[in-house]
Chains A and B, each alone.
Chain A
Amino acid sequence: MKQLTRINSLWLLLIILTLFSAYMAERGTPGFYSVVIMAVVLAAKGRIIVDHFMELKDAHIVLRTLMRVYFYVIPALIIIVYLFPEQIAKWTVL
Chain B
Amino acid sequence: MTRSMRRAAILAFVTIAAGLSIFLIKTAYLGYPVSPGVKSTLWDFEIFLEFTGQDEPARLEVFIPANSPDRALAEEEFYNGPFGLGLSTDEATGNRKAVWTYRYPSNKKVLRYSAQTLGETAATPLPQVFRETKPEVIPFEADAVKRQAFIVWTGELRRQSADDASFAALALKKLFAPTTENDGLADEIAVLSNDLPSSVARLELARQTLQSQSIPARIANGVYLTDDTRRAETRSWLEYHLGGEDFRYFPDGEPRRFFTIWHGAAPLVATTGVGELDTQIALQSTSNAAEALAGKAGGGMDFVSTYFTFNKMPLTTQLVYKILVTIPVGITLLVFLRVFVGIQTLGTFMPVLIGIAFRETALFNGVLLFTMLIALGLALRFYLESLQLLLVPRLAVVIIFVVMAMAGITILLTGANQAIGLSISLFPIVILTMTIERMSIVWEEDSASEAIKQGAGSIAVAGLTYLAMTNSHVEYLMYNFPELLLVLMGICVLMGRYTGLRLTELWRFREFAKI
Judge: A and B partners, yes or no. Answer: no
Q: Which residues of A are interface residues toward B (Cβ below 8 A)?
A: none
Q: Footprint of A on B, CB under 8 Å?
A: none
